Chains A and B, each alone.
Chain A
Amino acid sequence: MSKCAELTRRDILKSGAAVTTLSLASGVTLMAFGGSDADAAGADAGKRWGLLIDASKCDANCTDCVTACKTENGWDAHGDHASPETSSAWIRKVTLKDRQTGRKVSAPVMCQHCDTPPCVDVCPTGASMKRADGIVLVDKHICIGCRYCMMACPFKARSFVHEPVHDQSVNAPRGMGTVEACTLCVHRIDKGRIPACVESCEAAGHSAILFGDLKDPDSPISKALEAYPSIALRDDLGLNPAVRYQNL
């Protein structure tokens, strides 16, 4: 009984008023100090965060979004043996050439935050998960490192941590033997900030990555999607990703 009651008390604590005095069933009176209501937002099912990447604005020689992601989430830390094949890649820059026309185009690729993510379907433990606001994450607390999600992902968005890691960023805990991927900078979004790649792309003067709420018809991203043609990668699979591309 006590455990259940205590956890309930914690719930009240984290969302409650400045000072709460509570009487438990056991007769114990406890005082708790909580934060303000504004802070306790959580993932909102009324929103779906997404990105619209305009490949025509993406500079082939710029990798600021990749650098910003590495710094923000700390996945740059290479071990002694890391090779490009074993390193993590939460976000990567690709440069493509149309086989028929020869047109060259560049764009970043990260977790596409699918509406029906194959990685979530196949995960045996439920570590691969989609939040209420559409962000797809790995719960590393219960990831067993089977890599089936990596087999299922059509975008090569996920990486397996092959070596011990130290001094992780406080933003993004990550460890050997578990799978990781772009989190859409969930730690920033939850605190009302834009993802690091979006910020760096704007700072570099390209503004090729548009961030916003796909469920809000008045958001800039929704309006841009309505006004101009865009595509989803591997649209044939019908996964409805939250990351879409223009001029690719």
Chain B
Amino acid sequence: MERTIYREIKATPSVWMVAILLGAFVGAAGLSVLTIEHHGHIITGMNNQIVWGLPHVFAIFLIVAASGALNVASIASVFGKKAYKPMSRFSALLSIALLLGGLSVLVLDLGRPDRLLIAMTSYNFTSIFAWNMILYNGFFVIVGFYLAVQMITGLSAKMVKMAGLAAFIWRLALTTGTGSIFGWLVARPGYDAAIMAPLFIVMSFAFGLAFFLLTTLVLFKLSDREFGDVLLKRMGSLLGVFVAAVLYFTAIQHLTNIYATEHAGVERFFLREGGIYTTLFWLVQVLIGGLIPMALVFLRPSRQSTIWASILVIIGGLAQVYVIVIGGQAYPLEIFPGYEVLEGFNEGMVNSYTPSLYELALGLGGVAVTLLAAGVGVKILRVLPTNLSDANVPADS
């Protein structure tokens, strides 16, 4: 095998086409943000019951995937798997891009996005949200540093390993923080569970790896580089293990709730009577995003099956975040236990939510920001290896 060489991608017409397409999505998101800022959130599907909507689903998915995308680098640097080493630069870059995309959506959906500076300067340290802002900003710095030490020639392997370890610990903290945004909400029966933090971590493993595989394959295709079948199948089976872990944690999450009588209502809602949320849970999250990808990568491992599994994991992941974020709010708060509410303010009934086109545009814009940032990164930085054919992948010692 030859030495791993990293080269920028060339700006071919097809690269430009993709960039223009992504730019159009970003532009649409910008337009919808301006429209929402002018008219208020009244034009979105969100209301005073469902206060976090589709933008938050995209934002949380991207933020969770961000820390997961760093896994490829961690597997190389922290766990010493040499086969992953050539991909670790792009893994770090993509994780920064994913966080950027996710945060853009989160920030632009604020009631007062013009006050971002206040969010950066005025901290309430009892808020997990404020802690997350520190974790997000720290992630940019630490992963940026990690990417830099990988790219600077002549630095010792030990230094790269230390930076990789720091980034790995930070990403675990970051996803713990993201999960705790929901896990620490004691008031809502759909959230309020310590398992949210580890659940979000395994979700990040799966979503991040799936997103990494798809973007890498697209970039390799666009720049005419080779990605070996054996390596891809190996990563596919890793994805399968992560998906199994997500299913396991999801099962424990619901079983624990079912056992507690006070949570029987919310579980009945999620698992049996929740309409769209029940469908999304069983059909999209569990079947399409869980069991089918596992069957694909374990029963019929191939290049095609890995690609399909990655796509399905992302679809299932979005459904899972949707069920957690929106479903958790749709289920009514139990303010008056033992009473039926005859008259009130949307009390004791399932809250309805229909996402608007503005919210979808904003969410997809976040994905486009991520892809655009990753694309610009591989265009100007030497992060993408020129050859990942199986003959050229280092063997693990």
Q: In the bound complex, do residue B340 and residue A145 qualify as a contact, i.e. CB atoms below 8 Å apart?
A: no
- The verdict on A124 contacting B112 (CB below 8 Å), with A85-B49, A100-B338, A109-B335 known, is no
Q: In the bound complex, do residue A156 and residue B333 qualify as a contact, i.e. CB atoms below 8 Å apart?
A: yes
In this complex, the interface size class of chain A, counting residues with CB under 8 Å from chain B, is 35 or more
Q: Is the interface of A mostly helix, strand, loop or mixed?
A: loop
Q: Which residues of A contact B181 (CB under 8 A)?
A: 148
The A168-203 residues at the B interface (CB cut-off 8 A) are 176-179
Q: Is residue A161 contacting chain B, with contact meaning CB distance below 8 A?
A: yes
The B157-211 residues at the A interface (CB cut-off 8 A) are 181, 184-188
- The verdict on A99 contacting B187 (CB below 8 Å), with A85-B49, A125-B122, A145-B111 known, is no
CA distance A79 to B122 in the complex (A): 32
Q: In the bound complex, do residue A148 and residue B345 qualify as a contact, i.e. CB atoms below 8 Å apart?
A: no
Q: In the bound complex, do residue A124 and residue B342 qualify as a contact, i.e. CB atoms below 8 Å apart?
A: no
Q: In the complex, what residue of chain B is closest to A60 when comparing beta carbons?
A: B343
Q: Is residue B298 contacting chain A, with contact meaning CB distance below 8 A?
A: no
Q: In the bound complex, do residue B122 and residue A142 qualify as a contact, i.e. CB atoms below 8 Å apart?
A: yes
CA distance A69 to B347 in the complex (A): 20
Q: In the bound complex, do residue B342 and residue A144 qualify as a contact, i.e. CB atoms below 8 Å apart?
A: no
Q: In the bound complex, do residue B115 and residue A142 qualify as a contact, i.e. CB atoms below 8 Å apart?
A: yes
CA distance A145 to B46 in the complex (A): 13
Q: Which residues of A contact B260 (CB under 8 A)?
A: none
Q: Which residues of B contact A179 (CB under 8 A)?
A: 111
Q: Distance (Å) between the CB of A169 and the closest chain B CB?
A: 19
Q: Distance (Å) between the CB of B57 and the closest chain A CB?
A: 14
Specify which of B43, B49, B129, B339 is in contact with A146 (CB 8 Å cutoff): B129
Q: In the bound complex, do residue A94 and residue B111 qualify as a contact, i.e. CB atoms below 8 Å apart?
A: no
Q: Which residues of B contact A177 (CB under 8 A)?
A: 37, 40-41, 110-112
CA distance A96 to B367 in the complex (A): 45
The B336-374 residues at the A interface (CB cut-off 8 A) are 336, 338-347, 351-352
- The verdict on A94 contacting B344 (CB below 8 Å), with A86-B48, A121-B126 known, is yes
Q: In the bound complex, do residue A124 and residue B335 qualify as a contact, i.e. CB atoms below 8 Å apart?
A: no
Q: In the bound complex, do residue B111 and residue A176 qualify as a contact, i.e. CB atoms below 8 Å apart?
A: yes
Given contacts A125-B130, A159-B48, A233-B335, 7 further A-B contacts (CB under 8 A): A96-B340, A104-B342, A121-B127, A148-B129, A155-B333, A177-B41, A233-B336
Residues of A within 8 A of B (CB): 79, 81-89, 92-100, 104, 106, 109, 118, 120-126, 142-148, 150-156, 159-164, 176-179, 233-234, 237, 248
Residues of B within 8 A of A (CB): 37, 39-43, 47-49, 51-52, 110-113, 115-116, 118-119, 122-124, 126-130, 133, 181, 184-188, 329, 333, 335-336, 338-347, 351-352
